[in-house]
Amino acid sequence: MGSCMIKPTVWIHPGVVTIYGSSIDAAPHRHHAIQLILPQNKSLCKLNEADISKVTIIDSKIEHQLQMSEGWVLLIEPKSNLGQELSIKLAGQSFKSFNTSFSLTHKQPTQAQDITKFLTPLFDELKLTKQFLVFNKSTVEDKRIQQLLTRLNQCLHGDCIKPSKWRASEVASQLALSESRFLHLFSEELGIAWRPYLLWRRMMCAIQAIINNSSATDAAHLAGFSDSAHLSRTFRNSFGMSIRQAHTLFKKVS
């Protein structure tokens, strides 16, 4: 879609992945995150084959298909402050669109620029609290699970902490819990089981590796996948695209 390719820009922070890109074409898929779609002004955008031009929220675990010639995509942890606010906005619906002037007034930011500067006007229009953009804190209350999430967030700013260190039995022992108690508590606090959540976080590590210009094979290894085929299957199931497409979307352009 669209004849002009722009440089994709990706920001990964605890609780939210923000993408500004072009020619996004994803097959039907579903994932853990709540998704916010912001088509750029006059951008061609289809959600489940229907034309959309407004800011649209898609709930967690809802299957959807997206084509967009240019604009923003935000992937937000449901159990974050921002995720909880967006869930309230959905009011029980799977999808919901909102009128804003955001896409009419904003141009593509650069990787070096502060993403909060660009998104604050949008969050103002949606009547969301600005502090969620400054630090999208988790709403998890149990201090042991908070500690675990803090450790996982270390992967976002360095090498991925390999999944060999994240077996449920080992994590439970580190938190002074039985394995069954840990698995129950984690699912209760996050709304998702430990293994699929860990897989989701490993994909974030792979995206970060691709942003840093790693090959698909190296990204798979760094994030703890068995090979690039395993990573690509996981990407296709979660994002509706292959690792080759993801590499084109996320790789830095010098």
pLDDT in tens, 75-123: 999 988 889 999 999 999 999 999 888 765 556 666 666 777 778 888 8
| Same domain for 37 and 107 | yes
pLDDT(3) > 60: no
111-115, 126-130, 220-224, 241-245 — which is least confidently predicted? 111-115
What residues does 68 pair with on adjacent strands?
Answer: 24, 45
pTM for this prediction: 0.85
Banded model confidence at residue 74, pLDDT cuts 50, 70, 90: very high
pLDDT(139) > 50: yes
Geometric angle at alpha carbon 92, from 32 and 69, rounded to 5°? 55
pLDDT digits (tens, 9 = 90+) for 167-214: 899 999 999 999 999 999 999 999 999 999 998 888 888 888 888 888
Average pLDDT on 144-165 reads 78
CATH of the domain at 73: 2.60.120
Q: Please indicate, yes or no, if residue 4 is contained in any of the structural domains.
A: no
| Same domain for 22 and 110 | yes
| Same domain for 16 and 113 | yes
Q: Do the Cβ atoms of 68 and 45 come closer than 8 Å?
A: yes
Q: Do the Cβ atoms of 145 and 185 come closer than 8 Å?
A: yes
pLDDT(21) > 90: no
Average pLDDT on 57-66 reads 95
CATH of the domain at 194: 1.10.10.60
DSSP code, position 236: H
Which of 134, 151, 173 terminates a domain? The answer is 134
The tokens describing 97, both together, are 């669109």
Q: What are phi and psi of 146, to 5 degrees?
A: -60, -45
Could you give the C-alpha distances from 51 to 26, 95, 96, 149, 150, in angstroms and in order? 15, 14, 13, 37, 39
Residues 252 and 10: their CA atoms lie apart, in Å, by 9
| Same domain for 220 and 200 | yes
Look at the block and give the residue holding tokens 């998104």.
119
Q: Please indicate, yes or no, if residue 46 is contained in any of the structural domains.
A: yes
Domain around 35: 9-134
| Same domain for 164 and 103 | no
| Same domain for 162 and 246 | yes
Residues 211 and 214: their CA atoms lie apart, in Å, by 7
Banded model confidence at residue 6, pLDDT cuts 50, 70, 90: very low
The predicted pLDDT at position 100 comes to 84
Q: Please indicate, yes or no, if residue 1 is contained in any of the structural domains.
A: no
Which of 134, 169, 198 terminates a domain? The answer is 134
DSSP code, position 203: H
Task: Say how many domains are in the chain.
Answer: 2
Q: Residue 12: which residues within 8 A CB-CB, separation 6 or more?
A: 18, 156, 204, 207, 208, 211
